[in-house]
Structure 1
Amino acid sequence: MDDIRHIDAHRSDDVVAGTGIAAGDRDGARSVEEGAPGRELARDAALDAARATLLDLGWRRTTLTEVARRAGISRMSIYRAWPDRETLLGDLLTREAAGLLGVLRDEDTGRAAATPARIAADLRALLGALRANELFSRVLQLDPEIVLPYLFQRRGRTQDLIAELLGTEIADGQRAGVVRRGEPIALARAVLLTAHGFALSASTMIDADVDQACLDDALERAVVGLLAPTDTAGRSGR
């Protein structure tokens, strides 16, 4: 991940000592540090610029300097808001995932209690939306190493957002008596672990014998089996 942590700072004679920021960048551009709502507008502009840059160049060639240029924001402001590229990427992916999850939350409004089948269907729809999303697809196509830390070292905010949504649905189903007993967040994370392979490696399992729909059907059955109430109360408890 060293390449992700790297900050591109082009050196010149008028660079402010110790900052990697050209003195001329301190004025004449919008600042992410401005007060709201200007600050939020500048932040959104920076994230929009980062998204466009990643789609155009891939993450390896995306620099904070290029993001600042595209956003019309001073480099000093970019470095203050995001000290390194990894932080910026985290905020960008979180915003993208939150938008996709927002659609599912809106669809859940006013619906009946979540059953294992509905939770499985919602997860299937979410994974389909992630596969269709141009930003996530671009990351997996050009820079798959970006996701490795979130599979082997730590959870990311995107994973926590999905687990939170699943946990809410699971708790709702438990109150209605249609989802097995257990700590909702633990069950949600188990579902998320089940989904990881389908989200990231499904393409390696698709061929003339198995298509995406077959795998999605299998995922739904696996999630239903994980969440369905068991016959023995002791086995379904924590």
Structure 2
Amino acid sequence: MKSRAQDLSPIAIRERILDAAEACLIDVGYGTRLHAVIAERAGLSRPTVYKYVGDQSEIFEALFQREITHFFTLLRPVLLESDRLDSGITDCVVFAVGYARRHALLQKGLRDDPAVVLPWFTMRARPFIERGTDYLAPLFERMMTAEQLATIDPRAVCEWAFRLVASLITTGGVVDTSSDAALRDFVDGLLSIAWVPAPAAQLV
């Protein structure tokens, strides 16, 4: 039996609403009017849902922000195991893409309601990039040599990683990256090109 709203803290109420919202979206999709079904699943009133989360767009925003926080918490130990920039980027991309491919709500949105989900990876991506950069730049910086730090901004590394992950999540390609091993080979190959020194200028 669910606890009554008056017996819960505001944080607990909000989390219950978001848990119910995630389950409802997986069941019925992003296009449904959600407040009634969320309220029923959460065992709360519709006014309570509005009070603690807001309208439908604010529900999407809250779910997205909660998922980002959870994702970064899981990614951190992955990056702490890496001690080189190239392997760290590969580990980051492989983990992030695999996580996204196994994420039921994200995959349902990409499949059934791309107009709602894709902007988070394109037009609305900047806040995500900024937040990810603030969180991840120190983790990438610790992997970098003094020579790399002299020429590469760790914040740029974060943005490279985001753009690669976003592309792999949202766009199909001709190279097989369906398994973690194939994806790792793909990213390693891309990075091997990126680390090739620029050719010396030709004397005229």
Q: State the 1:63 CA deviation.
A: 1.2
Alpha-carbon distance between aligned partners in 1 of 2:19 and 2:158, rounded to the nearest angstrom: 31
Residue 152 of structure 2 is aligned to residue 177 of structure 1:
no
8 A Cα contact 2:96 2:165, kept in partner: no
Aligned to 2:99: 129
| Larger proportion of helix | 2
The alignment partner of 1:153 has SS state of: coil
Rg comparison, structure with higher value = 1
Residue 182 of structure 2 is aligned to residue 199 of structure 1:
no
- What does 1:76-115 correspond to in 2, within 5 Å? 76-109=47-80, 111=81, 113-115=83-85
8 A Cα contact 2:137 2:155, kept in partner: yes
- What does 1:1-238 correspond to in 2, within 5 Å? 30=5, 38-109=9-80, 111=81, 113-155=83-125, 157-174=127-144, 176-177=145-146, 179=148, 181-201=151-171, 204-205=172-173, 210-213=176-179, 214-223=182-191, 225-226=193-194, 228=195
8 A Cα contact 2:177 2:186, kept in partner: no
8 A Cα contact 1:119 1:169, kept in partner: no
Cα deviation digits, residues 129-182 of structure 1 (max 9, x gap): 1111111111111111113333442326544444344422322223x3374533
TM-score, normalised relative to structure 1: 0.68
Change (3 A) 1:230 1:48: same
Change (3 A) 1:156 1:30: farther
TM-score, normalised relative to structure 2: 0.78
Q: State the 1:106 CA deviation.
A: 3.0
8 A Cα contact 2:118 2:170, kept in partner: no
Count matched residues: 194
Alpha-carbon distance between aligned partners in 2 of 1:115 and 1:38, rounded to the nearest angstrom: 43
Percent identity between the two aligned chains? 20
